Amino acid sequence: MTVDRRTAMSISAAGLASLAVPGLAAPAGSRFVVKGNAFLLDGKPLQILAGEMHYPRIPRALWRDRLRKMRALGLNTLSAYMFWNIHEQTPGVFDFSDNLDVAAWVRMAQEEGLHVLLRPGPYVCAEWDGGGLPAWLFPDGSTPARAFDPRFMKPTARWLKRLGEELAPLQIDRGGPIIMTQIENEYGAFGSDQRYLRALVDATRAAGFGGQLYTVDGASVMEKGSIPGIPSGINFGTFTPGEAEKAFKERADKGFTGPAFCSEFWAGWFDHWHETHATTSTENVVANLKWMLDRKMSVSFYMFHGGTSFGTWAGANLDVEKNFFEPDISSYDYDALLDEAGRPTAKYAAVRKLLADYLPADSFRELPAPEKALTVAPFALGEVAPLGQLLGAAQVADDPQTLEGCGRAAGMLLYRHRLAQAAKGQLSLTEVRDLALVTVDGKPAATLDRRRGDKSFMIDAPAGAMIEVLVEAMGHANYGMGLGKDQKGLIGPITVDGAPLKGWEHRPVLLEDVSKLQFAAQRGGETGPAFYRGSFTVTEAGFTFLDLRGWGKGYVWVNGRNLGRYWSAGPQRGVFVPAPWLKVGANEVVVLDLFGPTETVLSGRGEMIWDRAATA
């Protein structure tokens, strides 16, 4: 989707303001098309100035606030992934209610004067569990992901058809805000099968999306992921000042034409556990953006606002050949234009200042009133409940089964085996995905981390001893050739000095509802996995970040809502508590800690606590 480079270079910044940058919804029956090197809305050139936001990462009560901040910046379009796996968590059963009401999300964008770029997948990446692909699609790794195969295409077509029932009526020619619908997502980095891409086009059309289609890829692989006759955007970062020029030159050198569109302008970056917080320089963002604006190019900020991967929805990177696993943190701050709490950052201000040189004054809006950041004094979590209270029904098999094989998509699974005879030697697990806490007769025996390649430990136990292995899944691979092949739990048989241990009980930990827990006062000296409960009081509306320093690894619930994972490994040392999920008055906090905290105390503050890279 490139413009001839010589033509692009001749366009002056002064002419940019003549492009349509609408702030109001298009009238019913409007027409959006691609003609030559231009996007046209009702026959007039449209420069797309977009920002990416994800509805499941933002509490619904805050959607309008975030959209208004996008519109205030002068942007005219919301870029919106659709997350298949959160809508269809059980095959054939769809949920579009409450925070998953995508039609309300799209309509709200229109009410705030924004067009919409619809990105329905089926694969979305986005540092989201499985890249949006449901875990139930891949119970054993035999179903190919992103493939021209009925095992993949049939459920994909069903997803697109059901999504079409929600969103096809909101296309621009029917009076809605959706101007383009994306086919697949960065497919060129994964494959090059035109049969698959064409089948997706057919399924998308059959689902009712009859308007303009497009694809997105990195410039280096766009020939693999593009579709003849359909425009293609390119994605690139801001790690150096000249990345935009380099990417568009590569696209032009490959002979691509059409509207010049950076479909993902990575204005920040994401984080893995065990790393320092990723950031990109505001100066590089501005330099690359200016280069594009000088040439009247369209652009979409990824991310405009990242939000939070609540619960178990954060994904992971996986190199299958090297078995190199990098789980993502729950915060999706992304060093974006708005921070995790939705506050404009220095990048936002710098971009606003630059856009003022190119856009008419009436392109901008006033920012909404800010939410208040709350400080919460230290409070104790003085009650405790054992993990065993949330164990589900048992399933038995000769060898360990995966979470998916036990009908689970995420969370934790407890494996149990009672020794029929004494065991002494090396206990070997074929593979752990992703973290395992092993006890023998209730005593800690080993902690095995997939990141380190841990697979074995020495055991010396009598006949009748109980081996328990608690495995936590840290997010399915969301990028690369590991898609659909990242089943969780214990993979393969378990042996002692080569002799197999047969007969395993499997019990899931049901983290969906912690209200069932029965707590008692701490007696002191608690060790191992347990739930802790306490409460704090706030006297006014606002948000906070709970400080988890001093805790080990686990999950946090506030008023029954799972805020996501924490881990002393960093870089994220707290969890974000959105204002709509707090109550004026008492607020209950439940923390699951797998390792045992050094002190069962929490507090709240107005900023996330990050492990940052040392500066010179």
Catalytic residue among 88, 186, 326, 340: 186
Place of tokens 């996330």: 608
Amino acid at 341: A
In angstroms, rounded to a whole number, what is the distance separating the alpha carbons of residues 434 and 455? Answer: 11
Q: In the numeric block, which tokens belong to residue 561?
A: 């809502």
Nearest-5° Cα angle at 157, 155 to 161: 115
Catalytic residue among 88, 112, 264, 472: 264
Would you say 314 and 475 are in contact if contact means Cβ atoms under 8 Å apart? yes
Nearest to 487 by CA among 123, 134, 189, 91: 134
In angstroms, rounded to a whole number, what is the distance separating the alpha carbons of residues 158 and 558? Answer: 35
Q: In the numeric block, which tokens belong to residue 550?
A: 């001093």
Q: Is 312 helix (H, G, I), strand (E, B) or coil?
A: coil
Q: In the numeric block, which tokens belong to residue 373?
A: 């950041």
How many CB atoms are closer than 10 A to CB 614? 5
Would you say 75 and 337 are in contact if contact means Cβ atoms under 8 Å apart? no
Nearest to 575 by CA among 599, 594, 554: 554
Alpha-carbon Rg for the chain in angstroms:
25
Q: φ and ψ at 155, to 5 degrees?
A: -65, -30
Q: Examine the residue annotation and report whether 186 is marked as an active-site residue of this protein.
A: yes
In the chain, the N- to C-terminal Cα span, in Å, equals 41
Q: Examine the residue annotation and report whether 340 is marked as an active-site residue of this protein.
A: no
Strand partners, 479: 317
Q: In the numeric block, which tokens belong to residue 220?
A: 């280096």
Would you say 494 and 501 are in contact if contact means Cβ atoms under 8 Å apart? yes
Question: Among all residues, which ones are annotated catalytic?
Answer: 186, 264
